Amino acid sequence: MNDIQHRVGIKSSADNIYQLLTTDSGLTQWWTNDVSGAGEINALIKFRFNGGGPDFTVVELLPNKRVGWQHSGSVPEAWIGTSIVFELVDDGEQIFVNFTHANWTEATDFMAHCNTKWAVFLLSLKDAAETGKGAPFPNDTQIDHS
Amino acid sequence: MNDIQHRVGIKSSADNIYQLLTTDSGLTQWWTNDVSGAGEINALIKFRFNGGGPDFTVVELLPNKRVGWQHSGSVPEAWIGTSIVFELVDDGEQIFVNFTHANWTEATDFMAHCNTKWAVFLLSLKDAAETGKGAPFPNDTQIDHS
């Protein structure tokens, strides 16, 4: 069992962050500019990066508290069987977003790459929530030259 | 066993990156502006953030290839028993830095915080190597409002 876990603290309303995690118009503000299908439980969200990209099925929605996705489809191969949870915790000063990308089968270079990249996108989520301006693909911060 | 693993790709010489990882003047360019003690095997490096911070003993040095540190001292408590390795791999186009902060006893919120923060500092290392301008503490990117 190998999990990726990140934690960022955001000065914004939980409702605003929840919208950024559960709607096409929200998700396009911080992860990739090409998102379709976001919705209620069982919705299949398609995230696209230059045409390809992962699908996730929405498996958990607790308004302003928790969002869960199960990877669906076959790309990237290393993500098959993985799941993602965003947990929102209000400490009075800020909303902490506890992020988990769980159940990787192997700790590979690709997992390390994705770990670094998730930090980039969660800081993009933070910026989108706080300033209205995230940096979704293709305007995302580059972590290498590949 | 819980490890943090990141991976960034840097357009720079391995020698330049190695200097940034093994000298006080290099380390102050990307992690914190207050570093002392860097040197050969068994050197005790003191990293300070507003006066406090971790110490690491240098345990492995393979020039332009690999740097290993063992946590020393008592702060932060969750880092006791952990170790850090920077592995440099030249793929011809760039130098990949494979980073591991190994042997956490528990996957806590603090580990998730440190994971996100390591991404920030490794991107600071990348910027320091490529442009000469990293963002070490206290000019580091903030991931929360604590």
State yes or no: pLDDT of A93 exceeds 60: yes
Q: Report the CATH fold assignment for A2-131.
A: Alpha-D-Glucose-1,6-Bisphosphate; Chain A, domain 4 (3.30.530)
* Chain B environment of A11 (Cβ under 8 Å): 145
* Angle value at C-alpha B73, between B67 and B76, nearest 5 degrees: 90
Percent of the residues in chain B that have a pLDDT greater than 70, as a whole number: 99
Q: Which residues of B24-57 are buried (b: 16+ CB within 10 A; e: fewer)?
A: eebbbbbbbebbeebeeeeeebbbeeeeebbbbb
Of B8, B109, B123, the CB nearest to A7: B109
State yes or no: pLDDT of B107 exceeds 80: yes
Alpha-carbon distance of A56 to A42, in angstroms, equals 9
Locate the DSSP E strands across chain B: 2-10, 34-36, 44-48, 55-62, 66-72, 83-90, 95-104
The pLDDT, as a whole number, for residue A30 is 98
Predicted confidence band of residue B19 (pLDDT cuts 50, 70, 90): very high
Alpha-carbon distance of A138 to B115, in angstroms, equals 24
Q: Which residues pair with B46 in a beta bridge?
A: B36, B55
CB contact under 8 A, A11 and B145: yes
Domain-wise residue ranges, chain A: 2-131
CB contact under 8 A, A122 and B109: no
Alpha-carbon distance of B118 to B6, in angstroms, equals 8
Predicted confidence band of residue B129 (pLDDT cuts 50, 70, 90): very high
The pLDDT, as a whole number, for residue A1 is 56
Predicted confidence band of residue B33 (pLDDT cuts 50, 70, 90): very high
Q: Minimal CA–CA distance to A129: which of A9, A36, A7?
A: A9
Mind listing the pLDDT tens digit for each residue in A19-35? 999 999 999 999 999 99
Please state the ipTM of this predicted complex: 0.97
State yes or no: pLDDT of B1 exceeds 60: no
State yes or no: pLDDT of A70 exceeds 70: yes
CB contact under 8 A, B94 and A126: no
Q: Which residues pair with A60 in a beta bridge?
A: A68
The one-letter code for the residue type at A131 is T
Calculate how close chain B gets to A129, using CA atoms only, in Å.
12
Q: Which residue of B has its CA nearest to A91?
A: B146
State yes or no: pLDDT of B9 exceeds 70: yes
Predicted confidence band of residue A134 (pLDDT cuts 50, 70, 90): very high
State yes or no: pLDDT of B108 exceeds 80: yes
Q: Count CB-CB contacts under 10 A for residue B75.
A: 12
CB contact under 8 A, B7 and A145: no
Alpha-carbon distance of A136 to A29, in angstroms, equals 6
CB B71 within 8 A of CB B56: yes
Predicted confidence band of residue B4 (pLDDT cuts 50, 70, 90): very high
